Amino acid sequence: MAPSADNPSARAGRGHRSAGGESGPGGADAAWHARKVAVAVTGGIACYKVAALVSRLSQAGATVRVLMTEAATRFVGTLTFESLSGAPVASSIWEAQEHHDSQHVGLARWCELLIVAPATADTIAKVAAGICDDIVSLTLCALPCQTPVLLAPSMNEQMWNNPITQRNMATVQRVLGYHVVGPETGWQACRTEGAGRMSEPEAILEAAAKLLPPLGRGDALKPLRA
């Protein structure tokens, strides 16, 4: 099965396609003003592109919190994302606590939208199986079911076409209601052309804007302490 750009049969009720993402002069950026966005970075070669995504979100006025798996920190340092988001990066389940709540619970309650980019085969498999042993999979597991999640998968073509990966993609779309952008076909880090290349930051931004909940709903969520 080749997962589509989105999944209309999602059962979990995530996503708000009519809100946000207005086009027109300044429209797309205006949609992001003061919106609370979590960007989860997992360990793929496309991590470097996510720096541009976080920068674009920040420039558009979104409040961005970045989460990274240990593998992701091997590709791009936390300092890059801390500088671009202007906030600490969560890279361990054992670090900062939000008052009496765990960090992952605070983040999960705080964000209005969670983008996983790049989404590795490993993290997709973990989430599909309900494993939550790192800050990204744990926060995803703790996310309220109405909070939209956008995955931007990125991997080698054989990994993408692996039936287990495809089964896991079907699970996260159908059971968890996650939305998906890409992957595209094109040049890959393994120096071949194929399916599995992460969508470009602008395409991720455009897909994400369509998932922003109506303004006001986020106000009811627990604020994240700086």
Ligand X SMILES: Cc1cc2nc3c(=O)[nH]c(=O)nc-3n(C[C@H](O)[C@H](O)[C@H](O)COP(=O)(O)O)c2cc1C
> Which residues are annotated as catalytic?
190
The answer to whether the beta carbons of residues 114 and 42 sit under 8 Å apart is no
As beta bridge partners, residue 103 has: none
42 binds ligand X (CB under 6 A): yes
Q: Does 131 bind ligand X (CB under 6 A)?
A: no
Q: Which of 135, 207 has the CB closer to ligand X?
A: 135
Is 89 near ligand X (CB under 6 A)?
Answer: no
Minimum distance between the CB of residue 123 and ligand X, rounded to whole angstroms? 4
Least gap, CB of 17 to ligand X (angstroms): 27
Cβ atoms 179, 207 nearer than 8 A:
yes
In the chain, which ranges are continuous DSSP H helix? 27-30, 47-59, 70-75, 78-85, 103-110, 121-129, 135-142, 157-161, 163-174, 201-209
The answer to whether the Cα torsion of 170, 171, 176, 180 is positive or negative is negative
Among 20, 21, 44, 218, binds ligand X (CB under 6 A): 44
Span near ligand X by CB under 6 A; candidates 4-12, 36-44, 96-104, 217-225:
36-44
Residue 91 binding ligand X, by CB under 6 A? no
Would you mind telling me the total number of residues written for the chain in this entry? Answer: 226
CA distance 185 to 197: 6
* CB 2 within 8 Å of CB 183: no
Among 123, 139, 168, 173, binds ligand X (CB under 6 A): 123
Nearer to ligand X among residue 45 and residue 87 (C-beta): 45
Residue 154 touches ligand X, criterion: CB under 6 A: yes
Least distance to ligand X, CB of residue 219, Å: 32
Residue numbers at the binding site for ligand X (CB under 6 A): 42-46, 69, 71-72, 120-123, 134, 154-155, 159
